[in-house]
Amino acid sequence: MSAAPPEGRQVVRALVSLKLRLLRNGLRRSPGRAAVYVLGTAAGLLLAAGLAFGLALLNGRAGAGDAAVMVTFALVIGWAAVPLFLFASDESADPTRLTMLPLRPRPLLCGSVLAALTGPGPAVALVLLTGAAVAGAHGPASAATAVIGVPLTVLSVVTLSRAVAAGNARLLSSRRGKDFAIFGGLLFALLVQVANLSFQSTLGRPGESLDLSPFAPFAAVLRWVPPVSALDAARTAGEGHHALALLQLAAGAALLALLLRWWLGSLQQLMVTADASTLEAARGVGPSGGRSRGWGFLPAGRAGAVMQRHLRYAWREPRAKAAVFTSIGMTLVLCVLSLIQGWSSVYLVVMAGMFLGLQMVNLFGMDGSAFWMVAATLVTPADARDELRGRAYAVLLYAVPVTALLGLVLATATGDWAGFAPALGLALSVLGCAIGVGALFSVVAPYAMPADGNPMRNAAPGQSGLTLLNTFGSMVGVLLLTLPVGGYLAWALADGGPAWPVLLLGPLYGAGAAALGVRLAAGRLLGRLPEILAKAVER
């Protein structure tokens, strides 16, 4: 069943050429994207080189091999987790794109392995793992073992990443998979921050003596777990335990064989199994039977219909869901970090009001080409006001409870119940100002969202300037608008005046700012419809 060698070589060359062409065409889409790619690659290589140099300087110090083991294990976890969160951002990682081609699994696997090794990621891993191997090396035996162990570890982590992607390709390319990427990415970012704080507390502060002994109990176990064992074999061989070093290399090679077998089995299954989503579509509509049910608690008229549509998009559309939960996740990460580092304050709830209120930014760019249906129904100024009001009400429907709940959590964690009322009032004023500013920016400076459905990309190529204007310009506008409430609160806290009126003043001021922003934006919406529609459909 295997392909003839010449045919297999042609498939391998074609897949590697395809990966290079994807990289080249992606860079040719816009100069900005090419610049970001080059700068990101250079920054990644420089960071890896700096870490590798730091690890190499540990050579000869007690615990250097343990530190190398911990760094290698962290790298393995990162490579295993990345495809679960960034699956849609790498076209070459999705094997379902090749299932309709007449390819045999084994040549496809060989070509996929070489294609996966093409790019900056494996180069960064190679540099970092080389430094980790040097950290624990002692003598010629370590060098000879590292020549085998380092490439074996690099190949193993790359294969692990692609095997995970292939094994979960159907799930990751579905809407549920994209939802999982959003929640998992937020959780992974939080875990990275916690691990960073743990490393800092373990290694001590700058200026203190470096103590690597806390790594010893963890490294004693992890050094026997492949593919970490393949890299640690260099340290083992340098200590004179050649048989154990060979055993560690053999464990790494065995894991690589198992990963390749898993990858090959996933490719075979993908090439002969129909897509479940296609079968469901062929059978007919889903459990709801195609009937649309309204939500009775929403107001009647256009504003209520717009609210329902916006909330459905926020729950079902991956990009909209990514924006909402990223805002909540950023606030949670800041709160957790502040609690761990000891500078937490109940006033951090203001960040939730800012991030959630700015969900009003670029409303129509998020609609994409579907905005023409909205534009066709906007006939009178009342229609424009109801359209923006409905979207603002939808944002408030989830932003206000989340902000209040987070304020309660922060007040409980910090014990500052006296500051809860003014902090919540300030957060609600910021939320209202953000909604008003976001409505204006949505009409004045819309930008196109990417059409590939990747929730991790927030702008089409060539529109980074508009993205920065919306992001930072809206934040500056919100800060300026909130100065009256913030100024009064600062005076009250500094001079001992009453701060509790902010709980009443803040929501009223925020509501007025939101209403004013929506009214001003609605006044310009009808005249800006052609420009907004052109931006919405631009890709």
CA distance readout (Å), 391 to 212, 235, 357, 435, 514: 54, 60, 11, 10, 12
Return the structure tokens found at 469.
Answer: 């204007």
Please say whether the dihedral angle defined by the alpha carbons of residues 153, 156, 160 and 166, taken in this order, is positive or negative: positive
**Cα gap 92→23, rounded to integer Å:** 10
Task: Note whether 485 and 502 are within 8 A (CB).
Answer: yes
Q: Which of 252, 336, 297 lies closest to 76 in space, CA to CA? A: 252
Burial class (CB in 10 A: 0-12, 13-18, 19+), 282: exposed
Please say whether the dihedral angle defined by the alpha carbons of residues 189, 190, 196 and 199, taken in this order, is positive or negative: negative
CA distance readout (Å), 14 to 10, 99, 108, 111, 283: 6, 15, 10, 8, 37
**Cα gap 298→282, rounded to integer Å:** 34
What is the gyration radius of the CA atoms in the chain, in angstroms?
27
Q: What are phi and psi of 500, to 5 degrees?
A: -65, -25
Task: Note whether 433 and 369 are within 8 A (CB).
Answer: no
Peptide bond into 226 cis (omega under 30): no
| Tens-digit pLDDT string for the chain (539 aa) | 444 456 667 777 877 887 788 777 767 766 766 776 788 788 888 988 998 998 888 888 888 888 899 889 988 988 887 776 665 555 566 676 776 677 777 777 888 888 888 888 899 999 999 999 999 888 889 999 999 999 999 999 999 888 887 777 766 666 555 655 556 655 666 666 666 665 665 555 544 556 677 778 888 888 998 999 999 999 999 888 999 999 999 999 999 999 999 888 887 777 766 555 454 444 444 444 444 455 566 777 888 888 888 888 777 776 677 777 777 777 777 777 777 667 788 888 998 899 898 888 888 877 777 778 888 888 888 888 999 999 999 999 989 999 999 889 888 888 888 889 999 999 999 999 999 999 998 888 887 766 554 444 455 555 556 677 777 888 899 999 999 999 999 988 888 778 888 989 999 999 999 999 999 999 888 888 888 888 766 65
**Cα gap 187→182, rounded to integer Å:** 9
Task: Note whether 158 and 112 are within 8 A (CB).
Answer: no
Burial class (CB in 10 A: 0-12, 13-18, 19+), 363: buried
Q: Is 194 left (phi over 0), alpha (psi -120 to 50) or beta?
A: alpha
**Cα gap 173→95, rounded to integer Å:** 11
CB atoms within 10 A of CB 220: 11
DSSP per-residue codes, 484-525 = HHHHHHHHHHHHT---TTHHHHHHHHHHHHHHHHHHHHHHHH
